[in-house]
Chains A and B, each alone.
Chain A
Amino acid sequence: MAGNISRSNDLGIGKGILLKIITFGSIIFLVSPLIILMIFSFNSGKTVTQWEGFSMRWYTNIFTDYDLWMSVRNSFLIAIASTALSTILGTLAALAVGKYAFKGRELFQNILYIPVILPEIIFGISLLALFLLIKLPLGFISVICAHTTFSLSFVTLIVLAKLANVDKRIEEASLDLGANRWQTFRYVVFPNLAPAIISGALFAFTLSIDDFIVTFFTAGVSSATLPLKIYSLIKFGVSPALNAVSTILIIFTVAALSVSNGIQKGVKVSKFLKYPLLGLLGLILIYFTVSFFEKGKIKNLNIYNFSNYLSPKVIADFEKEYGVKVSLNYYNDNEELLSRLQMGVTGYDLIIPSSFIVEIMRKTGLIQPIDTSKITNLRYIDKRFRNLPYDPSGRYYIPYAYGFSAIVYNNQFITDSITGWNDMYNEKYRSNILMVDDMLEAFFVGYKCLGFVRDTDEVKLDKVTDLLIKQKQLILKYENNMAVEYMASGDVWIAQSWNGYIAKILRKGPQFKMVIPKEGVLLFVDNMCIPTNAPNKEIAEQFINFLLRPANSASNIETILYAMPNPDAVKLLADSLKNNRVIFPSDQMLKNMNISKDEGEFSKKLEKAWTKVKIK
C-alpha cells in the first residue's frame, strides 16, 4: 500500500517548487530549535546564546548531579508503573468497547476522548481537586494515578483502532477449533493486538516521561520528575546543563517513538536482542522498586525550596550527623509555593517563602510557630532581621537570606550617567530594557519614579499604573530568569535584576556596571518556615539550628551567592566575598532599603492594575 501512496502521480501534483519550499521551511522550523538546543549543550561557556567552544562539561555536570538523578529515577518509576497500569486497563477497556454491546458504551467511548481533548491544565487541576477531596496524599501514588488516567485513553484508542482491523471471525474460528475463551485470547486475540498494545505502552511511557503540567499539579513531596526538576532549574537561568538534559530526553523520546512505530509496522525484534532487553528492563525495575522502599525506612526531612538555593554540602553534612535523609523539592516562585500550600498539598517540613508571603501564610494558618527554644543558634542572627513587620512576634520565621533588585547596565551601549530608576526609561534604549516580572517590584519602581509615598490612595495608583503602561512601551519585556543571558548577548543594555544575578553579570566583563538607585531599592528577605501540617517538625527545627551554625551558614553563602543575616558566618568568608557590595549591601544601603510586605485589601487593587499593565 505504501508503495502505491508514495508513487508520483501523473497530474503533476506535488511537483511545484512552492510546495517544496513550504515543506522544507516547515521541517526546518520544526527541528531547528531542537538542533540549536542540542548544539549548545556542548558549549563550553555558561550561556546558551554565545558559542565559546566545544565541551562535554555539562554532561559531566549532570551525570554527577544527585538531585537530577533522583528526579530521573522518579520519572522512570512513575512511567513504568503508570505504563503497566494503563496498558493493562486500556487494553481491557478497548476489548470491552470494541467487542461487547453494553449500556452506556457510546458514553464510555466518548469519555475516553476527554483526556485527549481537554486542556492538560484543566485535567491537572481537576485531578488535584479529586486527590485532595479523597485525602490521597500527593506523591508517587497520586502521580502514577494521574498519568495512568491520561495514558489509559491513548492506549485504549490505539488498541481500539487495531481491534477494528482484526477480523472478529478469527475468535469464533478459534472457539470453533476447540480453544476455550482463555486460549483464544492467548493464542489469537492477544498476538493480533500485541503490536498495538506494545505501541500503546510505549506511547504511554513517553507521555509519562515527558509530562509536565499534570505532574506539576499532582506531584507531592519527593516525587518531582525530571521535567519538574528542569523547570525549577530555570529559576537560576538557562544553563547549558539544561540543554544537556533536554538533549538526552529528546534522544530517548525519539528512540522510544521509533521503536513504537517499528513495532506497529511489524518489525520484529530479534530474539538475541529481546531477552537482554527484557532482562535490563527487569533489573532497572527491581533497582527502582528496592530503592523506593529503602527510602521509607529512614527518618526524612522534606524541604521545599527554590532550586540551587541550598548548599548540597550542608545537606550532606546534616544527613551524616543526624542520620536523616533529606529530600528536596522545588518551586519556581513564591506564588507557586503559596498556591500549592493553599490547595492543601501536604508533606513538606521546611519551606523558604519571601517576606510578604510569610505574612499571608501566617494570617491564613498555613505555617506554625517554631519552637525557638530548640533553635539555640538563633543568637547568631542579626537582630535587625528578627521581628520584622511581616511577623512582629518573630515566632513564625527564621530569616534565611536576603537580597534586592538594582540596576545593571552595559557601558558599551550606555554613556549617560545612570543614578536612579527614572534613568532607565530613556527613548534611546527602546527595546533594550529588561525589568523583573514581579508586581511588587514594578509598583515599587513606579511609585519611586513619580516620587510618591506608597499608600492606599487610588488616584496615585492610577497615575502610577499609567506611568507603568507608558514605560512598558519602551522595555523589551518583564522577565525574571534570563537577565544574565540577555546582558551577555547584548540584547539588553540596561536591566533591573536581583543582586544574585547582577553578581553573575558583573563577572562577564568590566563593561557591566551596577547602580543602586538613589530612590532606594526593595529588599526581599527569604525565610525558613514550618508548614502547619509538617510531618517532621522536630527534624526541621534541628535542620534550622544546624544551618545557623556560622560554619554551615558560611558554606551555604559560598554556594548560593546571597547574603545570610549571620555576621559570624560572614566573618568566616574570604575577603573577596565578604567585601562584595553586590552580595552584601553596606549598612548604609540596608538602612535605605524597603521591605516588601503583604498589601492586604489594597493588593487586590494592585493586582488589577498589574493585569492592566501586563495586557497592554
Chain B
Amino acid sequence: MLELKNLTKTYGHQNVVRDVSLVIGKGEFFCLLGPSGCGKTTILRMIAGFEKVSAGNILLDGVDITERAPYQRDVNTVFQNYALFPNFDVYDNIAYSLMIKKRAAEEIAERVEKVVKLAGLTGFEKRMPGQLSGGQQQRVALARALINEPRILLLDEPLSALDKKIAEQTRMELAELQRKVGITFVFVTHNQVEALALADRIAVMNNGIIEQCDQPREIYEHPRSHFVADFIGSMNVLKGIITESNPLITHVELEDVGMIRLSKSDNQETGKPVIFCIRPERMKVSLIEPKEYENSLKGVIRSKVYLGDVTHYQVELHGGKLIKVIAQNYLLQLSNEFYELGEEVFINWSQTSGELINA
C-alpha cells in the first residue's frame, strides 16, 4: 500500500504539487491523469526518489520512505523514453538490477528468462537497444523494471512514444501483464483514453492538486469539478442559478438559455450559482416536441460533421450559445431523420441526464 500524505513540491516560488494526499491499494492499477504541467510526473518522480519532497510524506506499506535514495526504495520505474542503457544488450539491461545485487549467474539467467518470456522478448536477448523498435524497447524497459518484483511499478507515459496502433495493442498487453504479476501500477498519462481503459482508479490533476479521484466510470459520468467535466471527453457546460429545489426535482435557470429541470436532487439551496454539464451523446436533435420527462431547447443547426459511426452537430440556441450534440448514425437511419444546416430543431434530453457542479 502506497500512501501520500500532504505531499508538496516547490520550485522557487512555484508550487508544482500542492498538498496532495492519496492512498493507493495493493495490486491496484492507479492512474494519474492531467494536462502537461499539472504535477503528475513530479509526484511520480517523488515516489521514485528522483525529486526531493518539499513537504509531506511518502509511506510504503506503512514505512516512511520520503528521505530514502532511489536505490533504497522497493519501487521501479518505466521511463517515458525507456532510458535503456545503450552500452548493454537486452539481456544485460534486464539483468542490471540483479547484477548490481551480485546475484549468482544461474539465478540471474533463470529470472531473466522468466521476464523475457513474460514480456515476449524471446530471441532478442543479444540485441542492442538501438536495434529495437519502440514497442520492443518499451517491453525491455518493462522487463527490466519487473525483474525485481518491486512493490510498486511506476510508469511515466509509457505509451506516448509509440504510434497509435502499437500503443493500443501494448495497452491491452499492459493490462493483462498487470493482472498476471499483481504488482501495484502507478501510471502517469495525459491521455484520457488510456486512463479510462486501463485504470482501476484515476486521479485527475490540475495545477498541482487532485481535482477528483475515482473509478473511471464515476469520473466520466459524474465529474465533480468544472475542470474534470471539461477535461474528460466532450461536454456542454452551461452556467445557471438554482431557482427551486425539492427532493424530487431541481429547477435551474440557465444564463441566456432558460429554465431546465433535473429529476435527481441533492437538496440544493435556492439561488445558488451552479454549472450544468451534459455530454453531447446524451442529447438528441429532433423535430418532435419534447416529452414531459424531457428538457428541450430550440436552436438552428450551424454545423454537421459526419464521422461514420456518429454525426457531430453544433446547434446555436436563440440566446447565441452553441451546443454540441452527437447522434448515432444507425439510429438516425432507423428513424430516417436527417437534418440540414440552418434547420430549426429541438434539442431534447432526459431530466435524469446531466450533472450539477458548484460554480
**B-binding residues in A (CB < 8 A):** 166-167, 169-170, 172-180, 183, 187-188, 191-192
Contact = CB atoms under 8 A, between A and B. Distances in A.
Given A177-B76, A177-B148, A178-B71, A172 B100 contact: no
A58 B77 CA distance: 66
B87 A191 contact: yes
B126 interface: no
Contacts of A174: 85, 96
A269 to B, nearest CB: 16
Given A167-B81, A176-B75, A177-B71, 10 more contacts: A166-B86, A169-B81, A170-B84, A170-B85, A172-B79, A173-B83, A173-B144, A175-B49, A176-B145, A177-B96
Contacts of B144: 173, 177
Given A172-B50, A172-B70, A188-B87, A177 B81 contact: no
A180 B71 contact: yes
A178 B148 contact: yes
Contacts of B97: 177-179
Interface in B44-97: 48-50, 69-71, 75-77, 79-81, 83-87, 96-97
B254 to A, nearest CB: 49
A175 B71 contact: yes
14 contacts: A167-B81, A169-B79, A169-B81, A172-B77, A173-B77, A173-B144, A176-B76, A177-B96, A177-B97, A177-B145, A178-B97, A187-B100, A192-B86, A192-B87
Interface of B: 48-50, 69-71, 75-77, 79-81, 83-87, 96-97, 99-101, 144-145, 148
Contacts of B49: 175-176
Contacts of B84: 170, 173
Nearest to A194: B87
Contacts of A180: 69, 71
A186 to B, nearest CB: 10
A172 B87 contact: no
B85 A173 contact: yes
Contacts of A191: 87
A179 B87 contact: no
What DSSP secondary structure best describes chain A's contact surface?
helix
A170 B83 contact: yes
A176 B86 contact: no
Given A173-B77, A176-B76, A179-B100, A188 B85 contact: yes
Contacts of A172: 48, 50, 70, 77, 79, 83
Contacts of B87: 188, 191-192
A56 B141 CA distance: 62
A169 B87 CA distance: 14
Nearest to A184: B71
- A-B pairs with the 8 shortest C-beta distances? A169-B83, A177-B97, A175-B70, A173-B83, A191-B87, A179-B100, A178-B97, A176-B77
Contacts of A176: 48-50, 70-71, 75-77, 145
Nearest to A168: B83
Contacts of B99: 187
Contacts of B77: 172-173, 176
Contacts of A183: 100
Contacts of B50: 172, 175-176
A167 B141 CA distance: 14
Nearest to A188: B85
A187 B99 CA distance: 10
Contacts of A178: 71, 97, 100-101, 148
A179 B71 contact: yes
Contacts of A188: 85, 87
Nearest to A172: B50
A135 to B, nearest CB: 46
Nearest to A169: B83
A132 to B, nearest CB: 47
Nearest to B156: A169
A169 B70 CA distance: 13
Q: Among A170, A173, A179, A180, find the residue whose CB has the most chain B CB atoms closer than 10 A.
A: A173
A170 B50 CA distance: 12
A167 B145 CA distance: 18
A482 to B, nearest CB: 55
A306 B316 CA distance: 100
B50 to A, nearest CB: 5
Contacts of A192: 85-87
A173 B87 CA distance: 14
A425 to B, nearest CB: 72
Nearest to B74: A178
